[in-house]
Every structure is written in structure tokens, then in C-alpha cells.
Chain A
Amino acid sequence: MTTLRWFHLIGLVGALGACAQHSESPSAAAPPAAPPPSTGATTPPAVEALYVYFDADSAKLNKQAEETADHAARLYREGNPHVMKIVGHTDATGDELYNLYLSARRANAVKAALVARGIPAATLELQAAGESDRVAPEAKEDPQDRRAVITWR
């Protein structure tokens, strides 16, 4: 039942995303999927996010990235039933398919780092976004695009 309910929540977020994508005019923008923290009975819990940055063409966690993983491990409460999502990204230099794999390797590296810190692997969900979701789409080589984003509730 909990799983089923989760499915609905994920569906809700997905539906919001879909609406945002299909909206053509700015006025038709869907409301943000993550409302501010509130104690209202029907609002979903606040989404927390951490950003792990990588060196160019690398899926290895550098010192700063390891520290971000340490931070994430300290934020994650035991018994949390939520799925933690890790999405890997790349910049737009080089081959698109290669970048898709690179983003997958980045997501995987973050997963490995979190599991090594005691976060149960079953609560982690991976996504590879390749170069499809860049911070500034007009920039091909933005260091901010070499990232993996961890989100959870």
C-alpha cells in the first residue's frame, strides 16, 4: 500500500512535469512541483537537494564531491521510506551517447558513495540525463552541467 501510494505521488510529480513541458506560453506554466515547507495536511513534504560536481569527462568523486556525499549521509534519517533520486548530467562537449553513459556513471558513482556511507541501496533510484538538462542550454561547456543531483524528501 505504501508503495502504491508512492506510485501516485511520483505520478503526480510526473504529471506536473508533463504539463510544464507541454505548456507553450509562460502564463500557462504549471505550479512548481516542490511547494515550500508547510504543515498543511495535504501538501507533500519538502524536497531537499544536493549537488555533486565532477571534473570534465570524469565520473570519479573528487574531494569536494566526497564531502557532499558525507553531508547527504548525515541528512538521511534511518527508516525513511522515501526513494532518494540521483540524476546524472553532463555538459554538451563530445558525443551525445557517450555523455549519456557518462551521466549514468556519475549517478552510479554517487550511489556507490551513499551506499558506502550506510544508506540502503534499495532506497536509491538512478537516472541518466546525459546532456539533455543543462543549466544554461546555450553554453556547451558549463562546469555546472558536470553534476549529479540528489533529491529526496
Chain B
Amino acid sequence: MRSRCALVILVLTVVAAHPGTTPAAGLAEPECTDALDPQAALRAGIAYDTGVGAAQDFVRAAQCYRRAATAGIAQAQFNLGALYDNGRGMPRDAIQAAHWYELAAAQGDGRAAYALGLMAETGDGVAPDRAVARKWYAMALAEGIAAAKTKVEQLDRASGAMSGSSSQHGDGNGAPTFKDAAGHRCRLVQSPIIVEGRLETALATECRDKKGRWVLTGPSPQP
């Protein structure tokens, strides 16, 4: 029984190890330099990442994803973010993860937006900010991530409950407020902004208008 099993395993191992026509086949151990076509770099990255068509190697996967990600491919940006997020092939780096997720989200990647919502909610790699988290979840929902609906509702409920019990901050955002030169009630928030066509998150000032609504008024005051 054992020897027959060993034989079966041997045969299957040989068959399984035989290189097939997987996306990366033919790319004999490609070095993902800037010279490589971005789409080819993405395919090579997935091959190294998942071990299909190449021996699994997260360091090379990251290198290939980076080549494709810097060329603007959203999938590669998300995947590179995920490698940083999960510490595959490198120590976990939430700041780098958020950076690459943001680039992917700016191109409409719903999964990246959802991950950013989670990160903003817990303050992982970005400043903790429920308002920003809600914006990311709303974007993820718009991009077809159904799970984001519950998240938006939860944040809305929490924010509604807080505004009912706390009169200090008005709407439960939790950020301390101050008065600007004109006497408006203002606060600092993390806000998604577009910089040279890319979505970034930056500290911004929000002040109440005459009707009591929060309106973004500009970047944060320099210390």
C-alpha cells in the first residue's frame, strides 16, 4: 500500500511540476526591471506571488508588482499594498500598504478602498478617523464591495449616537475643535484629496458654515 502511494505521489509530483502554459511560462526567471512591460511585470508578480508558473518568491513578487504599480496598474498597486499589509517578502509596513492601496483606490479599486476604510477606522498606517473611514467605505460600496454597506451603516449609527450624547463636538467626529480668525468653529480632519491626479490623504481644516454644516476650507494650518 505504501509503495503504491509513493509511486502515485511521485508520478503526480512530476506531472504537477511540469511547466504548463501559465501566464508566466516563457518568462524564465524574469527580473522585473523598469525595462519590462508593466503588464508582463504584473503577470510575473502574480506568478511569483502564488507559485503558479514560477517558484513562489514574495521578494521577487514585490519587485515585479512594484514595476507594474509604478507604471499605474491598479491590480499591481493593490497587490503590492497587500504584500506590505501582510508582511509577505518584507516586514509588515502599514504606511506603505496604505500608500499603494490609495493609488489603487484612486483608480476605482473597491477592495483597496475597503481595506483603507478598515485602516482608517482602526488607525492602522493612517491617522484614525471615522469620517475618512466612512468615505472609503462609501467608495468601496460604489465599486461593488457589498460588505462596505454594513460598515457605512455602523459608522453612521455610531456617529448619530455620539452626536446625541455629546454636544461638545457637534457631530461626533471626535476631533477637537478650535476657532479660526473669523470666529468659525473649525477642526482638523484627514481628507482624501487629489494631488496631480492621484488620490492622497492629507490633514485639512473643516469649519462650520452659516447653516452649521462642516465645510472643507483648506489645508491644515502650518505650525
Contacts and interface: CB of A to CB of B under 8 A. Distances in A.
A37 B56 CA distance: 8
Interface secondary structure of B, over-half rule: helix
B22 interface: yes
B50 interface: yes
B5 A118 contact: no
Interface stretch (A38-46, A97-105, A133-141): A38-46
Contact of A42 (B2, B13, B57, B145): B13
Contacts of B22: 1-2, 5, 81
A5 B79 contact: no
A41 B111 contact: no
Contacts of B82: 74-77
B111 A118 contact: yes
B86 A75 contact: yes
Given A18-B5, A19-B9, A117 B145 contact: yes
A40 B55 contact: yes
B195 interface: no
Count class of interface residues, chain A: 35 or more
Interface string B152-181: 000000000000000000000000000000
Interface stretch (A6-14, A52-60, A86-94, A143-151): A6-14
A113 interface: yes
Interface in A25-70: 28, 30, 37, 39-46, 66, 69-70
B56 A46 contact: yes
A120 B60 CA distance: 25
Nearest to B146: A116
Contacts of B2: 19, 23, 28
Contacts of A1: 20-22
Given A77-B49, A79-B42, A42 B17 contact: yes
Contact of B50 (A12, A28, A82, A113): A82
B145 A15 contact: no
For the complex of A and B, 7 pairs with smallest distance between CB atoms: A45-B51, A19-B5, A45-B56, A116-B147, A116-B146, A12-B12, A118-B111
Interface of A: 1-2, 4-5, 8-9, 11-12, 15-16, 18-19, 22-23, 28, 30, 37, 39-46, 66, 69-70, 73-82, 113, 115-118, 153
